Amino acid sequence: MAVITRSASLRGSRIAIWVLLLALGQLADLVTTQAAMARGAIEANSVAAGLLAAGGLGLLWLIKASLVVAMTAAVLLVRRHWAAPEGRAVIAGALVWRGLQLCVVVLAVTAVHNLSVIGLLPGV
C-alpha cells in the first residue's frame, strides 16, 4: 500500500481526478441500475430500494449527487488541515482519502456487477 505523504498527496489535480472518478462511478451505478430495472430487475441494495420506493429514480439521483458533493467537501476540508503537525489531522486525512478511493472501487465493481445482471436478463 502506498504511503500518503503530506506534501504531495492532496494536490488539487489529484483531488479533482478522484472526485471525477467518484462522480463517474455514481453515474455508472445509476445508469446500469436504471437499465437493469427497465428490463425487469429489482434493486438488491435495501437502502437504494427504499429510496426508489420513496421517491423514484429522481430521489436516488439526488442522493447520489449529494454524496459526491459531501465527499468533495470532506476532502477539501481535510486538505486545509493536512499540513498541521497534529496526528489527528494526518489520521483524518488518511481516512477521508482512502474512503474516497474505496468508494470509487466499490462503485466500479457495482457497475460491472449490474452489467453482468443485465446480460443475464431475458431479451438482451
Please say whether the beta carbons of 124 and 48 come within 8 A: no
Looking at the predicted structure, is the pLDDT value of residue 124 above 80? Answer: no
Query: Using CB atoms within 10 A of its CB, is residue 118 exposed (0-12), middle (13-18) or buried (19+)?
Result: middle
Could you tell me which residue, 6 or 30, shows the higher pLDDT? 30
Direct distance between the N- and C-terminal alpha carbons of the chain, in angstroms, rounded to an integer: 40
Cα–Cα distance, 36 to 121 (Å, whole number): 8
**Residue 120 DSSP SS3:** helix
Residues 28-46 have pLDDT tens digits of 999 999 999 999 999 999 9
At 19, the pLDDT band (50, 70, 90 cuts) reads: very high
Looking at the predicted structure, is the pLDDT value of residue 81 above 90? Answer: no
Cα–Cα distance, 31 to 107 (Å, whole number): 12
The cell for 71 is 465527499
